[in-house]
């Protein structure tokens, strides 16, 4: 069977190593690479049904678990396995709670990596041997709200969380400032907040890391 695998990680050397490992585990798979959430979104816009996404939690456009929450909301049928430098059991539990199909520490042996990928492609889950899953709690209202954002709204929210103004976001996304203002208004409504700062605080409440919190409180979407 021909598989399509997306590797989403901002470190080119690790993507290359992981690509080699995936190629050894499968028979000539189609492998696509993304170095940011924006690049991952572009790949998914062109192919919304890959067989597997190997996702790093920390890369441009993703703040902690926000990328995983977004993927589960927009692409619920696509298997997602988190590949992380951390093997902290609490982080693994959080990824399981938010719908990951598995968790592969970057220190995992090649044999275990192959087993994990094949298991998930066969419809199973895969967790590190020392991980003992506990009963997941219900998702919070904010998690459910975050999952309703469209891909472009999620991209704009990520830029807001990095302190970018509407005109900067519009320039980067090659759209009008009025379009960004409309997106920001929709984001505020979906998240149930009234300002940029409140949106960032809402994400922090989900224990999602947000670098560069130099946002300015603005009580309207201008």
Over residues 12-22, the pLDDT tens digits come to: 999 999 999 89
Strand partners, 31: 5
Strands 102-105 and 80-84: parallel
CATH topology of domain 4-121: Rossmann fold (3.40.50)
Residues of the chain with CATH 1.10.10.10: 141-204
Q: Is the dihedral of CA 165, 211, 53, 94 positive or negative?
A: negative
Residues of the chain with CATH 3.40.50.2300: 4-121
For the chain, helix (H) and strand (E) counts, in that order, are 10, 5
pLDDT confidence bin for 208, thresholds 50/70/90: very low
State the CB neighbour count (10 A cutoff) for residue 50.
19
Question: Is 201 exposed, middle or buried (CB count within 10 Å of its CB: 0-12, 13-18, 19+)?
Answer: middle
Over residues 33-51, the pLDDT tens digits come to: 999 988 999 999 888 789 9
Over residues 73-107, the pLDDT tens digits come to: 889 999 999 998 887 888 888 888 888 999 999 88
Return the CATH architecture of domain 141-204. Orthogonal Bundle (1.10)
Q: Which whole number is the average pLDDT over 110-121? A: 91
């Amino acid at each position: 069977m021909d598989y399509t695998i997306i590797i989403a990680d901002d470190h080119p050397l690790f993507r290359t190593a992981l690509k080699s490992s995936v190629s050894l585990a499968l028979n000539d798979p189609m492998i696509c690479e993304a170095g940011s959430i924006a690049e991952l979104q572009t790949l998914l816009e062109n192919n919304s049904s890959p067989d597997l996404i190997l996702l790093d939690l920390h890369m441009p456009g993703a703040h902690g678990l926000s990328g995983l929450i977004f993927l589960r909301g927009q692409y619920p049928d696509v298997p997602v396995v988190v590949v992380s430098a951390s093997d902290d059991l609490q982080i693994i539990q959080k990824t399981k709670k938010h719908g990951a199909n598995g968790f592969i520490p970057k220190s995992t042996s090649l044999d275990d990596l192959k087993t994990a990928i094949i298991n998930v492609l066969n419809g199973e889950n895969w967790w590190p041997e020392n991980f003992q899953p506990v009963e997941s709690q219900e998702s919070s209202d904010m998690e459910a709200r975050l999952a309703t954002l469209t891909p472009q709204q999620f991209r704009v929210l990520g830029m807001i969380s990095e302190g970018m103004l509407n005109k900067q976001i519009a320039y980067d996304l090659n759209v009008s400032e009025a379009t960004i203002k409309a997106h920001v208004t929709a984001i505020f409504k979906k998240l149930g907040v009234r300002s940029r700062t409140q949106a960032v605080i809402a994400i922090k409440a989900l224990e999602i890391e947000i670098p560069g919190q130099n946002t300015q409180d603005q009580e309207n979407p201008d």
